Amino acid sequence: MTRNVRTHAVVVLGCGLMGAAVARTLARTGTSVAAWNRTHSKAVALADDGVTAIADIHEAVRAAPLIIAVTADYEALWSNIAGATGWQGATLVNLATGTPDEADRMHARITAMGARYLDGMAACYPEGIGSPEAFLSYAGSPEAWAEYSGVLRRLGGQTHHVAADPRVSMLMSVWYSAFYVPALAAYVEAVGFAADQGISREDIDTLTPLLIDLVGHAAPEISAAVTTGEHATDQATIDTFYDGSVPVLNVMHDAGHHARMYSAALASMSAARELGLGDQGYSALATCGISRPVD
């Protein structure tokens, strides 16, 4: 089989939860989709969704001009495709999670083999793929984006090409994870305390959207303050937050809860106060969150 034989529009490499969702969504929109997975049975399981299973990675790479990789990480992707040929003229879209440096290296490897490269980030769960709310960002070849943006937009209504530099996608991923993962952990911690203290699920579910709205309301002000360095406030200072947080942490500790996320927040406030930032807005925490080598 030669590299020029493209039998499908898209081939998906990796049929885990996210990869399977990508393949199913594209097939559902009428796209001709093939799929490969190291454990072949996972690709075969997508047959009822209109996806063609391919057993050989060499054949898979040559099966479509657009290759979407959804593996655990960059190392797993490269270990699977390193020996494959037939990349000339193809485009690889990589949705693996990794670092900006890994995105750089993968870009160099793929372009050296004659293909174009887009590094992507999906800020949603597999069930969200294909929904109007799903956010996916891509960085890399503008030409590849221009050619395949129509296909990639089928994976989510909030789909964007953010930069020609492939590193930017993983920078976006780090930013997203740095917010979402601790925020979710803080919510789990808070709900755990509330449930342990007898607060009903109904009350928890009633208050939750209000708290999320508060964060959403504060977010634009915080991003503006952090990017401009203007942290003055006429609402609530770091001292205000700190004074209200100490008794909260004490109550949680007295109830037998570690309150690790809340403790971390209080530690950040303490660090800011030690730098004389207590009279500034909460956004000033950003100024004490950066560690750089001393010249």
Q: What is the pLDDT of residue 290?
A: 73
Distance CA 80, CA 75 (A): 9
Locate tokens 């915080």: which residue? 222
Locate tokens 């050296």: which residue? 112
Q: What is the pLDDT of residue 2?
A: 44
Token pair listed for 98: 């990794």
Distance CA 179, CA 173 (A): 10
Locate tokens 């083999």: which residue? 113
Statement: the pTM of the whole predicted model exceeds 0.85: yes
Q: What is the pLDDT of residue 295?
A: 40
Q: What is the pLDDT of residue 289?
A: 75
Distance CA 214, CA 192 (A): 21
Q: What is the pLDDT of residue 288?
A: 86
Token pair listed for 182: 């601790």
What crossing angle do the helices spanning 167-196 and 201-228 adopt, rounded to 10°? 140
Distance CA 180, CA 175 (A): 9
Q: What is the pLDDT of residue 239?
A: 98
Q: Which residues contact 241 (CB under 8 A, 6 or more apart)?
A: 269, 282
Distance CA 189, CA 178 (A): 17
Give per-10-residue mean pLDDT for the chain (295 aa). 72 98 98 98 98 97 98 96 94 97 98 98 97 98 98 98 97 95 98 98 98 96 96 97 98 98 97 96 90 50
All structural domains of the chain, each given as residue ranges with its CATH number in brackets, are 10-164 (3.40.50.720), 200-288 (1.10.1040.10)
Token pair listed for 31: 């796209």
